[in-house]
Structure 1
């Protein structure tokens, strides 16, 4: 009988049976409700068209179970063949830098290593070029030559040069990152050309003041308040000076030095329209000539700061601590024999490394001008740029990722903790990591806002967008008069200042 039933089932008959099973399944809940507490019979499986296809292939063996015996559950397992994951081809990227010693070198190594962790197929090689601290003197020419010959690095740090010719445009990439310029230490002259971005910020750069707490305590001197002035600086330095301690370190360079004094008076380096020197022109009560003479006088008149010839022994301490390049000739303060000085916030981690716990110190607000009533900030801006050739090299996306990694959170946290440079993103300036990295950092955020508002922006005149192509040559000519003749040589400050103005005008008058 069973054999007869098997022969009677055609495909059409099977479908009718299946449809009946479907109807029965639909009625199941209603019948169960009417039955009250009686045990419910197993509900026949609703077999879809896909199941029907499978059943017809094995009808000789399974039709009895499908038709005459309800099925509690039918599980269909689908096994999909998955292709093996593709392994990305290995890529080598390069970074150029003059950060070659101490915490700064470690920062570059951290950047390369951490990026590789997130991009296993990428190898990052850091090109350490120059001696450090003298970027424009021995780093820039090397990188510029490489860029012109097509052998330049993938990512270029701290150099702004012919951006449209040699750098890739960041605009498209940054749109995908929700990047906002106002969140960073930013200058349109340093990072933009015609409204487009050709570099992102490397760090925040300006100077404050610093005090040796041990020497203040020994002399019974009180720390200067936030609104102290230049006259108070002189008075306090006299109190702190002894036979073996200097009251103040008056640097001969622009950073924390004469350029900050110009900034407090509202002076510019030169007029970008007339191409005439403007360091002698004050604004809103400022008097740059008198302020420069006062700065000169800390050494040559007041005698509260060491003469250049007297700094040799003090500088040896910095060199013994590992300072190289410009640091070895500017950080006299790390000797521990200087009560007050300027403080390079952008090198706070380097200072901490050089002091090495030999004395306690703290960063402070810089003093105000007796003429303008303003503080002076010589603000600097540095760069992360991507080589324009990366598109032709076939790794444009990875190149931008590497550059952007510098301002991302992993690097930002490292920068905040160690301060090889102040993190360019403002959110780190009040972070716990940043505030405990060096004494006095709690003043930085407010000070930085003031510096951005009133500071003398170096990129506007020396190498940034719209500056004269002769800007850096102008700077060298002027600095030679101001520094070599007046601050180092001790010549009359007013006369040498006038000579610097005239020399600067000669440079700007050259035909290019």
Structure 2
């Protein structure tokens, strides 16, 4: 790998796009203090459902949604299901443009957050620490939510200290998208649903092509090396531990098994099997038909299906490979939260609860572009047959017991999360560019965090 000018090309999947809203939230507190009291529900834990013998004052909810294609339409479908139970509630869906993180912080500071708004799992702890999220657990049972039916890993991504602050909208379990045309050219069958790391490496060696100068012209994998949902499983994959909670320290260097696991991932790029994270490419090389495997989630399948027709290759999907010592699979989600300053928390809590019911999930997933977050809908044909029938869709829901959380982001002080993420990037780049041996690169990362974690 050539040590040129570094340019980090973030390859993470479409889980976190640009969005959220900017209009004022009627009735919000006049306080300009961003860190607020979040003592949740207004008392009942549920909106009062429609009853012929009862009348209700009209309520308007503002719901902020990302701007990416299809999200507002999917949420409007949930609104329709919600209105059947709560006809006295008017729901105003607001499609917002701009960086979602910056937008939420600006709206919160100006007391303009909607009653309900979208956020990625990576923002839950930060927003909860700022006091802008209301706890949601009290709304679930009164609104027909069976939390035992929700994939635990996705529900846990919305929790802080055991309380739920975000409801997940889908189940985004990392899988391996496959260019089966490249496999056929190499005489390789589609891997089995229990394929191992050794099998993956055997395929990688057979699928990677280099020219006479040693430059890779066909890659085995787009490893999504920057994404926590990929690198964290690898860090655990040889049996390593990332953190010593009792000692309040990270152990990315002091536990050598972490380094062995990360080396498995990083060497894919170092040895030319995976795309260079500092490389510059004319287009998405998997979409161009030049990469055999892609660690991603179901939401990209529709785009792959469309592009494959134009580019003339076939595709399928298999699970994330089983790593050598620990079966660990990453994942992620985004979802919806209730503003701690909403004056309509009962109705807002009832609305977000809809995302965890069969009616709400069927409405939201009516386009089939994501996997329902309810285990009971794993066999539903709507998502299984999208974007096309005949794929190995079992891969999307296999082994939920292997799902892992973003350990460092979940356990570190909020103030150190970004610093730790930067530490990972620096360690990876210094190793790949030959600036530091693996052990020294990881030691820098570890010392950087532990020095600040008192």
Q: TM-score, normalised by structure 1?
A: 0.65
> Do the aligned partners of 1:212 and 1:340 also contact (CA within 8 Å) in 2?
yes
Spell out the pairing of 1:76-475 with structure 2 (5 A cutoff).
Answer: 91-97=59-65, 99-112=66-79, 115=82, 119=87, 122-130=90-98, 138-158=99-119, 159-160=123-124, 161-162=127-128, 165-186=131-152, 190-192=157-159, 195-242=162-209, 244-255=217-228, 257-280=230-253, 287-301=257-271, 303-308=272-277, 310-315=279-284, 332-345=285-298, 347-349=300-302, 351-352=304-305, 355=308, 358=311, 359-370=313-324, 372=325, 374-380=326-332, 382-391=334-343, 395-437=344-386, 439-451=391-403, 455=404, 457-458=405-406, 460-462=407-409, 464=410, 467-475=412-420
What per-residue deviation string (whole Å, max 9, x for no partner) do you get for residues 76-130 of structure 1? xxxxxxxx99986654322234x32234454345445665576375141224243
Whole-angstrom CA distance in 2 between matches of 1:233 and 1:482? 25
Which structure has the higher relative contact order (CA within 8 Å, separation 6+)? 2
* Alignment gaps of 5+ in structure 2: 1-51, 212-216
Which structure shows the bigger proportion of residues in helix conformation?
A: 1
What per-residue deviation string (whole Å, max 9, x for no partner) do you get for residues 395-424 of structure 1? 333322322232333441245454544322
What per-residue deviation string (whole Å, max 9, x for no partner) do you get for residues 267-299 of structure 1? 4443333221123466xxx92212222322222
Spell out the pairing of 1:21-40 with structure 2 (5 A cutoff).
Answer: none
Secondary structure of the residue aligned to 2:168 is strand
Change beyond 3 A, Cα 1:304–1:445: closer
Give, in angstroms, the shift of residue 178 of structure 1: 4.1
Give, in angstroms, the shift of residue 163 of structure 1: 6.5
What per-residue deviation string (whole Å, max 9, x for no partner) do you get for residues 472-509 of structure 1? 13322322313433347785434322222222223324
> Do the aligned partners of 1:108 and 1:126 also contact (CA within 8 Å) in 2?
no
> Do the aligned partners of 1:300 and 1:490 also contact (CA within 8 Å) in 2?
no
Give, in angstroms, the shift of residue 382 of structure 1: 4.0
What is the aligned length? Answer: 386
Whole-angstrom CA distance in 1 between matches of 2:177 and 2:108? 40
> Do the aligned partners of 1:430 and 1:445 also contact (CA within 8 Å) in 2?
no
Whole-angstrom CA distance in 1 between matches of 2:238 and 2:367? 33
Give, in angstroms, the shift of residue 264 of structure 1: 1.8
* Alignment gaps of 5+ in structure 1: 1-83, 131-137, 316-331
Give, in angstroms, the shift of residue 364 of structure 1: 1.0
> Do the aligned partners of 1:246 and 1:338 also contact (CA within 8 Å) in 2?
yes
What per-residue deviation string (whole Å, max 9, x for no partner) do you get for residues 155-196 of structure 1? 122242226933333343222134332211235754445654
Runs of 4+ in 1 over 6 A off after TM superposition: 84-88
Give, in angstroms, the shift of residue 340 of structure 1: 1.7
Aligned to 2:27: none
Whole-angstrom CA distance in 1 between matches of 2:249 and 2:107? 34
Secondary structure of the residue aligned to 2:399 is helix
* Match for residue 506 of structure 1 among 438, 451, 454: 451
Aligned to 1:479: 424
Q: TM-score, normalised by structure 2?
A: 0.73
> Do the aligned partners of 1:481 and 1:497 also contact (CA within 8 Å) in 2?
no
Change beyond 3 A, Cα 1:445–1:410: same
> Do the aligned partners of 2:149 and 2:374 also contact (CA within 8 Å) in 1?
yes
Mean alpha-carbon deviation: is it higher for 426-435 or for 155-164? 155-164
What per-residue deviation string (whole Å, max 9, x for no partner) do you get for residues 371-413 of structure 1? x2x333234354422122233xxx3333223222323334412
Whole-angstrom CA distance in 2 between matches of 1:167 and 1:272? 26
Whole-angstrom CA distance in 2 between matches of 1:177 and 1:89? 20
Whole-angstrom CA distance in 2 between matches of 1:172 and 1:306? 46
Report the aligned-residue RMSD: 3.4
Mean alpha-carbon deviation: is it higher for 403-412 or for 159-168? 159-168
